[in-house]
Amino acid sequence: MPVLKDAMPLMKEPHPLPQAPLPWILPSLFAAFNVVLLVVFSGLFFAFPCRWLAQNGEWAFPLVTGLLCVLTFFSLVSLNFSDPGILHQGSNEQGPMMVHVVWVNQRAFRLQWCQKCCFHRPPRTYHCPWCNICVEDFDHHCKWVNNCIGHRNFRFFMLLVLSLCLYSGALLVTCLIFLVRTTHLPFSMDKAMAILVTVPAAGFLVPLFLLLLIQAMSVSAAQRSCEGKCRYLQGYNPFDHGCASNWYLTICAPLGPKYMAEAVWLQRVAGSDWVPMQNLHFPVCPSVLSPPALPEPGSGPQPQSLSLHKPGKVPSGRGSSPPGGSELLH
């Protein structure tokens, strides 16, 4: 193999210049602002209208709203710091010319090459332009938490939307009950804070309920928000296992091991176990130059093309790929 290695000089891309911190600082600040906003409005609620109800013997309201507040805050923080299912970048030894095909419920998908991560994306895997990562079973990028929603944290996202709906409804009902029971009392700070909490609670309740309804319908049909009208969803969705099974696979099923180890194994640097094969086109990655042709011993100056091939299976992915994640073969 020394002749083959000498015949294939590799050139590495120069390291890109560091980007300005503005693209990631602003989304991070916006996500932190949402957490602070939840804490501030919850503090105003428990300090004024909820305190008045508890002092007058209405302990059911602080107990229910307190549990919902803890659940909402836990799901929000968990989603902020969760792993959506990141597929880490591969090496530059495998290129876009190599074709990998996987089957999902009798449908063939050709894995698409990610130019930025340098590996073939499994089905329903998409490269997020905001996070600059490939996410397994990508649904969407949530700017409210500055994180992608994918295979490994979709259940946290559903829990957050559900808890926000319940918590906003509880805040709205509790504040309205407080205002009704204090109509005979003069205007006070408790009433002002109750009105201040009621307005955002009512404003967020309807959009959150619609979002929960849309996501529930998507889970029931095994669809993803980023897919839109994909070709394989017209008439038959190979990722659809039925409503009950779709909910189990999305919410309750074990997440399983990450793809990181297998993806790195497939994209590792060429070693001694890579075998040369003839009559194949050499895969070209954006950062790898095409190798010069090697003349066959005893023949004329006409070159013969060589390629590298590594036998092995490709991670098939769990189920959902946004547009560009993989291509359906007919």
Q: Which residues are catalytic?
A: 142
Cα 320 off chain centre by: 11
In this structure, what are the phi and psi dihedrals at residue 113, rounded to the nearest 5 degrees? -85, 130
Vertex 329 angle, CA 97 and 154, to 5°: 90
Contact 31, 146 (CB under 8 A): yes
One-letter amino acid of 55: Q
How many Å apart are CA 115 and CA 123, to the nearest integer?
16
Q: What is the dihedral of CA 276, 279, 285, 286, to 10 degrees?
A: 140
330 burial (CB, 10 Å; 0-12 / 13-18 / 19+) is: exposed
The pair of structure tokens assigned to 63 is: 């107990």
Q: What is the DSSP letter of 124?
A: T
